[in-house]
C-alpha cells in the first residue's frame, strides 16, 4: 500500500480552520467594531465605525461569499459520494439528474447570484 501524502490532510485542515475563522468573524462583528473604538465612545461613534467596517471593507458581502464557497465545496463532496454510489450500485439514470441539480447546478446558480449581488450591484464611484 502506498504512503499517504500530507497534502490532502493539510488542505482539509486548512479549509476547516478557514471555515471556523469565517464563522467566528460573523459572530464577533460587534467585538471587532468595539476594538476600533476608544474606551469611552458615543453611540454615534459606534454607528460610524460599524458602517465603516461594513461598507468600506465589504465585510458582510465578502464573508457571505466565503460561506457560499464552503457550501459549494460541501455540495461537490456530496456529489462525489452520491456519484460513487450511482456508479457502484447502478442506480437509475434519472437519479444522476437529481444529483447534478442539487450538487452542481444549485451551488453554481447560488454562486453566480451572489457574485452579481456583491460585485454587480455595488455603487460605482463617480
In the block, cell 464611484 appears at 125
Task: Determine the Cα–Cα distance for residues 38 and 46; give it in Å rounded to an integer.
Answer: 10
pLDDT of residue 59: 63
Task: Determine the Cα–Cα distance for residues 118 and 112; give it in Å rounded to an integer.
Answer: 10
Maximal C-alpha separation, the chain: 67
**CA nearest to 41, candidates 56, 53, 25, 50:** 50
Is this model's pTM higher than 0.85 or not? Answer: no
Higher pLDDT among residues 54 and 90, named by residue: 90
pLDDT of residue 110: 83
pLDDT of residue 54: 66
pLDDT of residue 60: 65
Amino acid at each position: 500500500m502506498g504512503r499517504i501524502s500530507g497534502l490532502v490532510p493539510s488542505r482539509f485542515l486548512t479549509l476547516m480552520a478557514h471555515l471556523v475563522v469565517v464563522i467566528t468573524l460573523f459572530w464577533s462583528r460587534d467585538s471587532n467594531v468595539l476594538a476600533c473604538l476608544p474606551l469611552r465612545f458615543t453611540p454615534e461613534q459606534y454607528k460610524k465605525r460599524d458602517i465603516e467596517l461594513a461598507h468600506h471593507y465589504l465585510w458582510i458581502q465578502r464573508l457571505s461569499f466565503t460561506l457560499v464557497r464552503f457550501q459549494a465545496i460541501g455540495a461537490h463532496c456530496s456529489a462525489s459520494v452520491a456519484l460513487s454510489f450511482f456508479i457502484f450500485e447502478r442506480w437509475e439514470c434519472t437519479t444522476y439528474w437529481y444529483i447534478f441539480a442539487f450538487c452542481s447546478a444549485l451551488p453554481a446558480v447560488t454562486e453566480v447570484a451572489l457574485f452579481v449581488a456583491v460585485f454587480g450591484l455595488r455603487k460605482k464611484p463617480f
